[in-house]
């Protein structure tokens, strides 16, 4: 099944997660912190931002996918109502 909106959303969220990860790596290098957040408030905020994205992005993607599947189901149901006969006429059955 082709879900273009869900796929695009997953790509955008993956890109955003990469950016947030790079920002954390950058601060870890400057602050010389390898585990945890140390005493750095900046690092703590960036870790929480990345954590929040990881926590909520999956549920958002699932909901977007389910909504998109509902739209596909409704559209395919409507198309099955219309049938084509041999004389090129569309009839509602």
How many domains does the chain divide into? 1
Q: For residue 32, what is the DSSP state?
A: T
Higher pLDDT, 12 or 90: 12
Distance from CA of residue 19 to its chain's centroid?
15
Least confident stretch, 7-21, 39-53, 64-78: 64-78
The predicted model gives 11-36 an average pLDDT of 89
**Which residues are CB-contacts of 6 (< 8 A; sequence separation ≥ 6)?**
61, 64, 65, 68
Tally of CB atoms within 10 A around 4: 8
pTM value?
0.70
Q: Residue 59 has what pLDDT?
A: 94
Comparison of pLDDT for 69 and 77, the residue scoring more: 69
Answer with the residue of higher pLDDT: 75 or 23.
Answer: 23
Domain that holds residue 84: 4-92
């Amino acid at each position: 099944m082709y879900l273009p909106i869900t796929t695009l959303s997953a790509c955008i969220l993956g890109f955003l997660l990469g950016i947030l990860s790079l920002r954390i790596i950058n601060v870890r290098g400057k602050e010389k912190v390898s585990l945890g957040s140390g005493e750095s408030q900046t690092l703590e905020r960036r870790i929480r931002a990345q954590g929040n994205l990881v926590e909520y992005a999956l549920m958002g993607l699932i909901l977007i996918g389910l909504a998109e599947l509902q739209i596909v189901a409704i559209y395919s149901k409507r198309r099955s109502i219309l049938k084509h006969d041999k004389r090129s006429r569309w009839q509602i059955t």
